Chains A and B, each alone.
Chain A
Amino acid sequence: MNYGSKTMTRSKLTLALAMGLLAASACSKNGSSDTADKGAAAVKEAGETTIAAGLNQKGRFFTLAKAAGLDATLAGPGPYTVFVPADAAFDKLPAGAVDSWSKPEARTDLTRTLTYHILPGTVLADDIGKAIDSANGKAQLATMGGQVLTATREDGKIVISDAAGGKAVITKADETRANGVVHETNAVLMPSAAS
């Protein structure tokens, strides 16, 4: 009997230990799966929609991207982070600028301008914010065109500045896509002139 109870205690202990272990492992699993879930949810939300497919097909940014042969890029493997200026932003450019871009002779300028709006990898607005904070208020972002954009915070909003000092405010952030993320802005960013 005595022997028996001892056995029982032992087995109970083992059970308790086992449960404890299970609980512990369940806890740690929960911890990481939260992040994983978030990532998975974002991917799920993005679905099969690529950056190219998610853009307004008749919008001016996408029209210009097509003229530069970049539509296939934005539909391909990325990931890319794209600052997409609203259609109205193109009206702020000097008269004739957009028209001249659609000519074959100006494709160089157009490509340089568009690639100045594309960053390597998926950079969420929050990531830019953290980078601004850790870099004393001014974060530099490398673009696919080779030049660098500067990100700052103004009135709680993230502002992207171009080489000439022109500023674009992120108006709608974090539109995640299957191959990256799109941030809508209110201005076209202009790279410095070809050297």
Chain B
Amino acid sequence: MSKWMLAAGAAALAVSAPSAAQQGGGRGGQKEHSGHAQKADRGGGGQKARAQRGGGDRQQQANRGGDRQRSQQMRVAQNDDRRGRGGDKVRANNRDNDRGRNEAKVEARGSDRSGNVRVDNRDRGREHVRTVKLDEKVRGNGNARFAVVDGNDIVRVRDVNRGVVRVHDIDRDDLFVRRLGFGVGGCPPGLAKKPVACMPPGQAAKLVGQPLVVAGRYGALAPVPVALRNFYYDDDDYYYRYGGGYMYRVDRGDNLISSMIPLFGAALIGQPLQPNYINSNYQPSYFNSFYPNSSYDCYRNGYGYVYETDCMTGMVENVIPTYGNGYGVGQLLPSSYGYYNLPYTYRGYFNDDDDNYYRYAPGAIYQVDRETALITSVAALLTGGLSVGQPLPVGYSAYNVPMAYRSSYFDTPDVMYRYDNGYIYAVDPGTRVVRSVAYAIV
């Protein structure tokens, strides 16, 4: 009997030890990160950046399930991958959200090597990664709401709407925005049919001609941010309000919604991806390195947008813009753009500051308003890019090297030079294959 108990005790120890160790590792990682936050984020190009991005996406899913305003307790998984741990894979399981209700179920996978934070919540028999708990006692204090992350870190929650949680991380003095599946009221696919908080795209159109109050049910409405007043300008006849993934134009006369502009991709998240969204024949050369498919995520390219879908369910999890389709100012930047991802040649020009941050999405570098996550300006336009070893794309027949570099890089019978996205490339005139990067303009 005592032997049996001893064995059980040892087993219990064995179970709890790794969990504690992992937690410790997570803390350490975080501390280290707080010192080098910028560096870590910026240093991550290519795959690393992608890994961070992936984390953000998972994050969004996790959040989506957790957003219930009425809930007594709000649990939101925090974006763990901001720590720059490229190997972390965090995945929320949306299918379980019907049961989960007030919490996002999150599984951590493949992360043992990389100091992942894994909290083994035995009470619930589930694994939670970086859960955020809103403290009810301080919740009533207007803006000064706090949340406890993993029962330890205290972060300030700036705002909780249906759809958006803004969190201020005191440790890192960093404000970040987590969007909870905007547009469909932050509902996971399983909840999309539930009333009140979720608005299927078909229903959205019915709001035109309705009082603005009706739209307010689907997402808290806010006046247009100052930075965007030039783009959505109120006049004597109309004014604008936004929320729940749409910009509403309201008639001043009768206070009815006269038209609504979807804030990019809003209505598609959580819906099945329709085959007609996709043009599978064309994939830009950068596509696979930016959007590598995994066993969970399938990326599809279609008419100026990249759709990230759940491979199992085929549901759209995120819609990523490309500039070619006219995406830009006045639109919401998808939440997956949580990290600084500018191409190296542009990093000297655009740095995140207190008001704005800069993000690269295929086609452009956007300046994004920190408070609202709305795009306020297009900082630079970028092309699909040239790549070494590939044929020169159509349209680069004309010499286009910047004036200052023309004396060094001019076309000869042996080599021609073409400029693209901050680089001067050497191209073989015979085969028209891009031979090498001749110069990087930094």
Contact of A131 among B261, B381, B399 (CB under 8 A): B399
A143 CA to B420 CA in the complex, in Å? Answer: 11
The answer, yes or no, to whether B303 is at the interface (CB within 8 Å) is yes
Are A81 and B383 within 8 A (Cβ)? no
B398 neighbours in A (Cβ, 8 Å): 123, 127-128, 130-131, 139, 141, 151
**8 A-B pairs with the lowest CB-CB distances in the bound complex, closest first:** A142-B395, A121-B400, A69-B329, A108-B326, A146-B324, A121-B419, A131-B398, A36-B407
Residue among A66, A110, A141 with the highest chain B CB neighbour number at 10 A: A141
Of residues 97 to 111 in A, which have CB atoms within 8 Å of B's CB atoms?
Answer: 104-105, 107-111
A151 CA to B396 CA in the complex, in Å? Answer: 12
CB-CB nearest in chain B for A46? B403
A164 CA to B66 CA in the complex, in Å? Answer: 49
Are B404 and A68 within 8 A (Cβ)? no
The answer, yes or no, to whether B406 is at the interface (CB within 8 Å) is yes
Of residues 68 to 126 in B, which have CB atoms within 8 Å of A's CB atoms?
Answer: none
A60 CA to B34 CA in the complex, in Å? Answer: 48
B375 neighbours in A (Cβ, 8 Å): 69
The answer, yes or no, to whether B431 is at the interface (CB within 8 Å) is no
The answer, yes or no, to whether B377 is at the interface (CB within 8 Å) is yes
Q: Smallest distance from the beta carbon of B426 to chain A beta carbons, Å? A: 15
Contacts A36-B407, A140-B395 given; does A72 touch B377 at CB 8 Å? yes
B231 neighbours in A (Cβ, 8 Å): 67, 69, 104, 107
The answer, yes or no, to whether A115 is at the interface (CB within 8 Å) is yes
Contact of A108 among B240, B322, B327 (CB under 8 A): B327
Contacts A70-B378, A142-B395, A146-B324 given; does A77 touch B349 at CB 8 Å? yes
Contact of A80 among B232, B330, B376, B381 (CB under 8 A): B381
A176 CA to B259 CA in the complex, in Å? Answer: 43
A72 CA to B358 CA in the complex, in Å? Answer: 13
Contacts A76-B379, A108-B327 given; does A142 touch B396 at CB 8 Å? yes
A166 neighbours in B (Cβ, 8 Å): none
CB-CB nearest in chain A for B399? A127
A121 CA to B420 CA in the complex, in Å? Answer: 7
A128 neighbours in B (Cβ, 8 Å): 398
Are A42 and B400 within 8 A (Cβ)? no
Are B378 and A73 within 8 A (Cβ)? yes
Interface size on A, residues (CB 8 A): 61
A149 CA to B384 CA in the complex, in Å? Answer: 16
Contacts A122-B419, A195-B303 given; does A69 touch B326 at CB 8 Å? no
The answer, yes or no, to whether B19 is at the interface (CB within 8 Å) is no
B240 neighbours in A (Cβ, 8 Å): 104
Of residues 2 to 49 in A, which have CB atoms within 8 Å of B's CB atoms?
Answer: 32-33, 35-36, 38-40, 42-43, 46
A145 CA to B418 CA in the complex, in Å? Answer: 18
Of residues 111 to 149 in A, which have CB atoms within 8 Å of B's CB atoms?
Answer: 111-112, 115, 118-123, 127-128, 130-131, 134-135, 139-149
The answer, yes or no, to whether B346 is at the interface (CB within 8 Å) is yes
Contact of B328 among A35, A107, A140, A181 (CB under 8 A): A107
Are B402 and A122 within 8 A (Cβ)? yes
CB-CB nearest in chain A for B231? A104
A119 CA to B410 CA in the complex, in Å? Answer: 19
The answer, yes or no, to whether A95 is at the interface (CB within 8 Å) is no
Of residues 367 to 389 in B, which have CB atoms within 8 Å of A's CB atoms?
Answer: 367, 375-384
Contact string against A for B residues 276-309, beta-carbon threshold 8 Å, 1 for contact and 0 otherwise: 0001000000000000000000000001100000
Contact of A105 among B261, B363, B403 (CB under 8 A): B261
Are B384 and A146 within 8 A (Cβ)? yes
Of residues 312 to 344 in B, which have CB atoms within 8 Å of A's CB atoms?
Answer: 322-330
The answer, yes or no, to whether B16 is at the interface (CB within 8 Å) is no
The answer, yes or no, to whether A194 is at the interface (CB within 8 Å) is yes
Of residues 254 to 283 in B, which have CB atoms within 8 Å of A's CB atoms?
Answer: 259, 261, 279
Contacts A/B (CB < 8 Å), 12 sampled: A39-B406, A68-B328, A68-B329, A76-B379, A104-B247, A104-B261, A108-B326, A111-B326, A121-B401, A121-B418, A122-B400, A151-B398
Are B397 and A140 within 8 A (Cβ)? yes
A139 CA to B367 CA in the complex, in Å? Answer: 34
Binding site for B on A (CB under 8 A): 32-33, 35-36, 38-40, 42-43, 46, 66-70, 72-73, 76-81, 104-105, 107-112, 115, 118-123, 127-128, 130-131, 134-135, 139-149, 151, 176, 180-181, 194-195
Q: Smallest distance from the beta carbon of A71 to chain B beta carbons, Å? A: 8
Q: Smallest distance from the beta carbon of B303 to chain A beta carbons, Å? A: 6
A144 CA to B400 CA in the complex, in Å? Answer: 14
Q: Smallest distance from the beta carbon of A172 to chain B beta carbons, Å? A: 18
Are B400 and A123 within 8 A (Cβ)? yes
The answer, yes or no, to whether B23 is at the interface (CB within 8 Å) is no
A42 CA to B403 CA in the complex, in Å? Answer: 7
Q: Smallest distance from the beta carbon of B385 to chain A beta carbons, Å? A: 10
A180 CA to B418 CA in the complex, in Å? Answer: 14
Q: Smallest distance from the beta carbon of B6 to chain A beta carbons, Å? A: 69
The answer, yes or no, to whether B393 is at the interface (CB within 8 Å) is yes
Are B407 and A122 within 8 A (Cβ)? no
Q: Smallest distance from the beta carbon of A5 to chain B beta carbons, Å? A: 47
Q: Smallest distance from the beta carbon of A195 to chain B beta carbons, Å? A: 6
CB-CB nearest in chain B for A116? B324
Q: Smallest distance from the beta carbon of A152 to chain B beta carbons, Å? A: 12
B384 neighbours in A (Cβ, 8 Å): 146
Are A139 and B397 within 8 A (Cβ)? yes
B396 neighbours in A (Cβ, 8 Å): 142
Contact of A39 among B377, B378, B404 (CB under 8 A): B404
CB-CB nearest in chain B for A119? B400
Contact of B383 among A73, A79, A110, A144 (CB under 8 A): A144
Are A121 and B402 within 8 A (Cβ)? yes
